[in-house]
Amino acid sequence: MGELRPHRDSGFSLLEMVVVVAIIATLSVGASLAIGARGGTADAPRLAATYDALRDAALLGQEMRGLRLVPGGWQVLLPAEGDAPGWRVSGAVQSVRAEARFEGTRGPILPAPPDTRPPQPDIVFLSDGEVTPFEVVFVTDDTVTACRSRGLAGLDCTTR
């Protein structure tokens, strides 16, 4: 009977691993571009994720958070630092790909015009879990997605 000898060339080479990683990266970029091309159908989950993150941050940090509507999207607001009253912008504008219509209890919530005044939130997340009531409708060529705030329960979204 023959002796078992270890093979020195077993396993993957560095070149093979690089090729596999490049293929996976190419496929993931293609998939993300395909998902992004769907337009408004991706806007509702992004808004729901922002909603959940702001609600959780307000509850855990015991500090209000805000969401300001701007032309073409929304922006997160935090309370001003120190004893200064007001709000400050946190992060970049989150753009929407579809037409978005926001409604509050007193009618439409219109995007804030770009100006130099201090930012004010259109939707406020309080430290006790309360959230300004609102509804948003995302309209694309083939779908309509409506989301309604439910406070601690998050956003309730339905697609028609």
Kindly state whether residue 17 falls inside one of the protein's structural domains: no
Q: Is residue 10 part of a domain?
A: no
Indicate whether 35 belongs to any domain.
no
pLDDT of residue 133: 92
Domain count, the chain: 1
Q: What does pTM read for this prediction?
A: 0.70
Residue 122 belongs to a domain: yes
Establish if 24 belongs to a structural domain: no
Output the pLDDT for position 9.
63
The verdict on residue 25 lying in a domain is no
Q: Is 20 part of any domain?
A: no
Given a contact cutoff of 8 angstroms between Cβ atoms, the answer to whether 75 and 87 are in contact is no
Residue 28 placed within a domain: no
> What does each of the 160 residues of the chain score in pLDDT, given as a tens digit?
567 666 666 777 888 888 888 888 887 777 666 554 444 468 888 999 999 999 999 999 889 999 998 888 899 999 998 887 899 999 899 999 888 899 988 888 888 776 667 889 999 999 998 999 999 999 888 888 999 998 778 888 888 8
Q: What is the CATH number of the domain that holds 82?
A: 3.55.40.10
Residues 6 or more apart whose CB falls under 8 angstroms from that of 149 comprise 51, 123, 131, 132, 133, 134, 135, 155
Q: Which domain holds residue 127?
A: 40-159
